[in-house]
Amino acid sequence: MDKKILIAGFGSAGSFALEYLARTPGIEGHKIIVGTRSTDEALALINTIKVSAAIMGFYPDISLVKMDLGDVDRTAETLAEMKPDIIAYTARFIKGVKYGQYSYPNQIGYGAWIALSLPLIYKLMLAVKKSGVETKVINSSFPDGVCPALKSAGLEPFCGAGNLNHLVPRIQAAVAGYKKIPAGRVKVVMIGSHFLNTYVSREASAKGSPYYMRCTVDGEPFNEISDEEIFKLSKIPTASGPPRNMMIASDMVKIIQAVVFDQNYFMHIPGPEGLAGAYPARVSAAGAALELPADISRSRAEEINRASLSFDGIKDIREGRIYFCGDIIDKMKKIFGLNYPECIKLEECEAFAYEIKEALSRYRP
Ligand SMILES: NC(=O)c1ccc[n+]([C@@H]2O[C@H](COP(=O)([O-])OP(=O)(O)OC[C@H]3O[C@@H](n4cnc5c(N)ncnc54)[C@H](OP(=O)(O)O)[C@@H]3O)[C@@H](O)[C@H]2O)c1
């Protein structure tokens, strides 16, 4: 049966996702809809993607709809009419601004930005609920913390995307490079949150954060070198800015493909079942089902991820509230002049996001 796939928010990640989706074999029987505020800009890019896909022999059905995710009522009406089967959320509260550029040099956990990561996906989930449409929302926005926050308010998305899934191929390549074998013979299973991905990628270190990692070669355990040595070998230069979004777009499209074609893809998924952090999982039309190795229990995996999330500055998430760690509160005050509360409710995030936006516009490193 034809599926309707909505790309909600059409910036750099959204446009890479459309490019990859447009060239997916078998996509022609399905409908892709781009939802954006900036329809003129989007139309030109969509036409370019269609022409490029046609050059390669793909003729995807792509259309465009005006959509302001800030307007819950109007978005709910659009969704009720459109009835998308899948929504790939790829908007960003402050266009073009990667928040890590502010927090990483100041050694502030990424969780500090959760008030920016939340408002638009929160409103989208409210709109989905209001529309009454049965749909699968894939959340790209800091899913390690945002998915559990949404779940705690009864607004759980289908799953998250990105983060740890971007580290795994580097680890795979590191082991393959060491063994001088093709990367496809290496399997990596990891548990950990956004912090792990950030610091192993940037500094080849988990920086004391808890994690789980097992590598196998042709199914046999690989223990020839330490995790630290693997991390060092995995540290490779990668692009920053918009080209970096090729990775998150690949996650989004792989999850969409798993759902549309009901494939049972093995991936690392942040926020499955609204859990904090990321887990190995099998993704299909039924959902992202955790696939934990035999030597780790689910409760231990959840414990690792909750502790890992606290390295990103989030102490707890419960009953529609996010609790920040003390060092974030102190650093955000000292560096950006922002008064962080001990905890914030989901519905308060948007107003606080405007305060953060204003503070960042004044900030001079
Ligand atoms: N999990 C990961 O590993 C990972 C990695 C990278 C990025 N991401 C996430 O991917 C998402 C997209 O990032 P990006 O770098 O592609 O962002 P971007 O290039 O800055 O684009 C953001 C887009 O959001 C749109 N937008 C903002 N407010 C909107 C609203 N009210 N309604 C509809 N659209 C709105 C903007 O549209 P206008 O032109 O109308 O302003 C813009 O096109 C972000 O949530 C980011 O956190 C995740």
Label residue 204 left, alpha or beta by phi (over 0 means left) and psi (-120 to 50 means alpha). left
Tens of pLDDT along 315-338?
A: 999 999 999 999 999 999 999 999
Residues 6 or more apart in contact with residue 226 via CB below 8 angstroms: none
Residues 6 or more apart in contact with residue 62 via CB below 8 angstroms: 18, 22, 32, 33, 34, 46, 49, 50
Residue 335 near residue 328, CB atoms below 8 Å: no
Q: Give the largest CA-CA distance in the chain.
A: 57
Residue 160 near residue 143, CB atoms below 8 Å: yes
* Closest residue CA from atom 46 of ligand 1: 141
Which amino acid, 354?
Y
Comparing C-alpha atoms, which of 142, 145, 143 is closest to residue 158? Answer: 143
Residue 121: per-residue pLDDT: 98
Residue 1: per-residue pLDDT: 64
Going residue by residue through the chain, which has 365 residues, state the pLDDT in tens, using 9 for 90 and above.
699 999 999 999 999 999 999 999 999 999 999 999 999 999 999 999 999 999 999 999 999 999 999 999 999 999 999 999 999 999 999 999 999 899 999 999 999 999 999 999 999 999 999 999 999 999 999 999 999 999 999 999 999 999 999 999 999 999 999 999 999 999 999 999 999 999 999 999 999 999 999 999 999 999 999 999 999 999 999 999 999 999 999 999 999 999 999 999 999 999 999 999 999 999 999 999 999 999 999 999 999 999 999 999 999 999 999 999 999 999 999 999 999 999 999 999 999 999 999 999 999 88
* Closest residue CA from atom 48 of ligand 1: 140
Q: What is the 3-state secondary structure (H, E, C) of the chain?
A: CCCEEEEECCCHHHHHHHHHHHCCCCHHHCEEEEEECCHHHHHHHHHHHHHHHHHCCCCCEEEEEECCCCCHHHHHHHHHHHCCCEEEECCCCCCCCCCHHHHCCCCCCHHHHHHHHCHHHHHHHHHHHHHCCCCEEEECCCHHHHHHHHHHCCCCCCEECCCHHHHHHHHHHHHHHHHCCCHHHEEEEEEECHHHHHHHHHHCCCCCCCCEEEEEECCEECCCCCHHHHHHHHCCCCCCCHHHHHHHHHHHHHHHHHHHCCCCEEEEEECHHHCCCEEEEEEECCEEEECCCCCCCHHHHHHHHHHHHHHCCEEEEECCEEEECHHHHHHHHHHHCCCCCCEEEHHHHHHHHHHHHHHHHHCCC
* 287 Cα to the center of ligand 1, angstroms: 24
Q: Alpha-carbon torsion 137, 44, 100, 254, what sign?
A: positive
Q: Which atom of ligand 1 is nearest to the CA of 245?
A: 6
Residue 365: per-residue pLDDT: 84
Q: Which atom of ligand 1 is nearest to the CA of 197?
A: 3
Q: Which atom of ligand 1 is nearest to the CA of 99?
A: 47
* 93 Cα to the center of ligand 1, angstroms: 7
Q: Alpha-carbon torsion 72, 77, 82, 85, what sign?
A: positive
Q: For residue 162, how far is the Cα from the chain centroid?
A: 4
Which of 39, 103, 140, 349 to mutate to test ligand 1, by most ligand atoms within 8 A of the CB atom? 140
Q: Which atom of ligand 1 is nearest to the CA of 98?
A: 15
Ligand 1 near 36 CB (within 6 A): yes
